[in-house]
Structure 1
Amino acid sequence: MHTTMTSLLAADSPAVMTPTTPHLRIEAVTKCFGTFTALDNISLAINEGEFVCFLGPSGCGKTTLLRTIAGLTQQTSGTLIQRDKDISRLPTQARDFGIVFQSYALFPNLTVFNNIAYGLRNRRDDRARIDKRVAELLALVNLTGSEDKYPAALSGGQQQRVALARALATEPGLLLLDEPLSALDARVRGHLRSQIKALQARLGVTTIMVTHDQEEALTMADRIVVMNHGVIEQVGTPAQIYHQPASAFVASFIGSMNFLEVTAQGNNRALLGTTPCACLPHTLKLGQAAQLAIRPEAVALSREAGALKGEVVGIEFLGPFQRVTLRLTEADQTIIADVPSRDSSDLDLFVGQMLSIHLPAEAARLYPAGSSQQ
């Protein structure tokens, strides 16, 4: 996953351009189940034609938010506006969306054709239009010729494509995807991921996908909404979320991250043991206990003398890079550095080796101590 992230999220990669007209406005939405608050005053605008991922750990509120948009769960308070229409209290069947569930939810007693045609028949479209539309959708999801098969005769990936075609059949303004790939094996998941993204871009349908898989979110989304404990931690492009995490939680949840115990010093300095380290500007108080966060790929190792040193205690070969674990001589802490395999011969890496460690200021962020444990 590391190589996928870093190759896709180069620091100087351009931000994804999306339209600025909101398709959906979520305004101060709260959902309580008894004394438990699943959604706490959520506000968010989703643009026309945008692909947005709700990302977060189990129990963070992302599925509850998706179900609230669909009308499957009624919010305790707050407003939902879709294309300037208040849908806050509309029943599910009166809302303009198609949905794909993790479990596919196909009708096992209906053929592929009839599964896809289901919504069109409920809308009382004529037979010629239904035939044409189903044929178009089967071609769109590369399942032409499967019209007469039943779901049990299809693979998991094929069933999910049928579910996607069914969701798109009535040409909804909004497509909702509830962890649509989590039940598939890794190879099929990766293939279908690219297919869904290409299809969404081709159709231009506004799409919201719930996932707990950070790689899915990073590779598919125009914007990611990171959630935790019923609140939004950060909204941004994949590159912004990865390179500029707004909180220690986001930094720890997305990708691999080192957290070092330090003491804040000035507005762009920290003290690691007795060694001063430069970092991005921060607002922590002088002497405040803090965590210095830095990605493993940003940590530079050298055999030359340096202020910060560490002993190599572990080396993992991971193809394009080697993951090196070092114990700092300054403190009883470890740090991980990802060294490109092409550069590892220069270091002549071995366990027990002493190396200098450089932490680039532009890649080091300071957060309050303990804030990554949420």
Structure 2
Amino acid sequence: MHTTMTSLLAADAPIVMTPTTPHLRIEAVTKRFGTFTALDNISLTINEGEFVCFLGPSGCGKTTLLRTIAGLARQTAGTLIQRDKDISTLPTQARDFGIVFQSYALFPNLTVFNNVAYGLRNRRVERSRIQARVSELLALVNLTGSDNKYPAALSGGQQQRVALARALATEPGLLLLDEPLSALDARVRGHLRSQIKALQARLGVTTIMVTHDQEEALTMADRIVVMNHGVIEQVGTPAEIYHQPASAFVASFIGSMNFLEVTAQGDNQALLGTTPCACLSHTLKVGQAAQLAIRPEAVALSRQAGALNGEVIGIEFLGPFQRVTLRLTDVDQTLIADVPSRDSTDLSLYQGQVLGIHLPAEAARLYPAGSSQQ
């Protein structure tokens, strides 16, 4: 269990929570805008101290769900329970959360110190306690000594850390992050996401982050909620989402994935043209059109011909690995295979040649035809 920061605002001893104690229960939440359904009967439990990412493409409903939790948008139907308290109809200011936006939303006319202290002053906290709390938070986000600077004098990454300190100042039970890193360049984004994750783990604050960046979700989250068209496609750990996608949409949205047009055959078989392919057990009907999904890194290549073969039509050097594109010889389909660079220094010699292809059954999943294009 994560430890919590010593409270400067409450004299009472903190409530002891187990890692599986529910912090927030979202029960059958629906949100409609006229005839458009942005959230369709969403149910989800988020536990104390968890870092959860809402992940999905633009328009999937993830931001609407975050705004509903914050009270910035009122649900059409459904219930929100935070630590056994029904917050479904509470105004935003009466809910227990801190929020960080993509645009930082700092007060440009206030110093760093006064930005962080803003919520504490609204709660009429004593001046000495405000001073101690702000100093503590600026140290946590590595901005000690920046008290008297104004936002315009800070980099984007520094401004976002000020916004994070401000959100944490009142010690909220829930931290909401609305695509907080998307306005930053790649180098700063990578550095700040590790800082945010380390800080969240240190404080043990329950955190929900909205992102469309799968790398952010995979590296930061304890659990990922993959959303599409206003519904939850899958909830799981990063490893579960990546290695055990529950639907073709999840398989296509997370990482790189091959999809081959096949015909379902029995519990763990498919036909790729006339070539039998073993796969994980499925429930599709024999003869049903299907997609066989397999990660490029799971595809094995051989100089010897096999039951399945392909002509090398492209090779890309991508640093740690080379991506090989093959045109299958028996069917008009292409396949990509990722081969570690250290094992393939002379791979360019195989351009135009036919290689044997092995698709490990334990890495191959079957989904209904067309279901990856949701």
Alignment RMSD, CA only?
Answer: 7.1
Alignment check: 8 A CA contact 1:8 1:219 kept? no
Q: TM-score, normalising length from structure 2?
A: 0.95
List per-residue Cα deviations over 1:279-311 (Å, max 9, x = no partner). Answer: 000000000000000000000000012100000
Q: Distance in 2 between matches of 1:322 and 1:11?
A: 58
Q: Distance in 2 between matches of 1:215 and 1:354?
A: 34
List per-residue Cα deviations over 1:113-170 (Å, max 9, x = no partner). Answer: 0000000000000100000000000000000000000000000000000000000000
List per-residue Cα deviations over 1:185-215 (Å, max 9, x = no partner). Answer: 0000000000000000000000000000000
Structure 2 residues not aligned, in runs of 5+: none
Alignment check: 8 A CA contact 1:225 1:232 kept? yes
* C-alpha spacing 1:341/1:220, structure 2 compared with 1 (3 Å): same
Tell me the residue number matched to 1:294: 294
* C-alpha spacing 1:366/1:57, structure 2 compared with 1 (3 Å): same
List per-residue Cα deviations over 1:233-262 (Å, max 9, x = no partner). Answer: 000000000000000000000000000000
* C-alpha spacing 1:97/1:220, structure 2 compared with 1 (3 Å): same
* C-alpha spacing 1:19/1:185, structure 2 compared with 1 (3 Å): same
Q: Distance in 2 between matches of 1:51 and 1:368?
A: 32
Alignment check: 8 A CA contact 1:10 1:239 kept? no
Alignment check: 8 A CA contact 2:4 2:202 kept? no
**Any idea what SS the aligned residue of 1:7 has?**
coil
How big is the shift at 1:8?
Answer: 37
How big is the shift at 1:342?
Answer: 1.9
List per-residue Cα deviations over 1:23-80 (Å, max 9, x = no partner). Answer: 0000000000000000000000000000000000000000000000000000000000
* C-alpha spacing 1:177/1:248, structure 2 compared with 1 (3 Å): same
Alignment check: 8 A CA contact 2:59 2:229 kept? yes
Alignment check: 8 A CA contact 1:303 1:347 kept? no
How big is the shift at 1:343?
Answer: 1.7
**Any idea what SS the aligned residue of 1:202 has?**
helix
How big is the shift at 1:318?
Answer: 1.0
How big is the shift at 1:13?
Answer: 36
Q: Distance in 2 between matches of 1:284 and 1:256?
A: 24
How big is the shift at 1:5?
Answer: 32
* C-alpha spacing 1:17/1:190, structure 2 compared with 1 (3 Å): farther
Alignment check: 8 A CA contact 1:24 1:83 kept? yes
Aligned residue pair count: 374
Structure 1 residues not aligned, in runs of 5+: none
How big is the shift at 1:350?
Answer: 2.5
**Any idea what SS the aligned residue of 1:39 has?**
strand
Percent identity reads 91
Alignment check: 8 A CA contact 1:15 1:237 kept? no
* C-alpha spacing 1:270/1:312, structure 2 compared with 1 (3 Å): same
* C-alpha spacing 1:319/1:15, structure 2 compared with 1 (3 Å): farther
* C-alpha spacing 1:63/1:208, structure 2 compared with 1 (3 Å): same
Say which is worse superposed, 9-18 or 45-54, in terms of deviation. Answer: 9-18
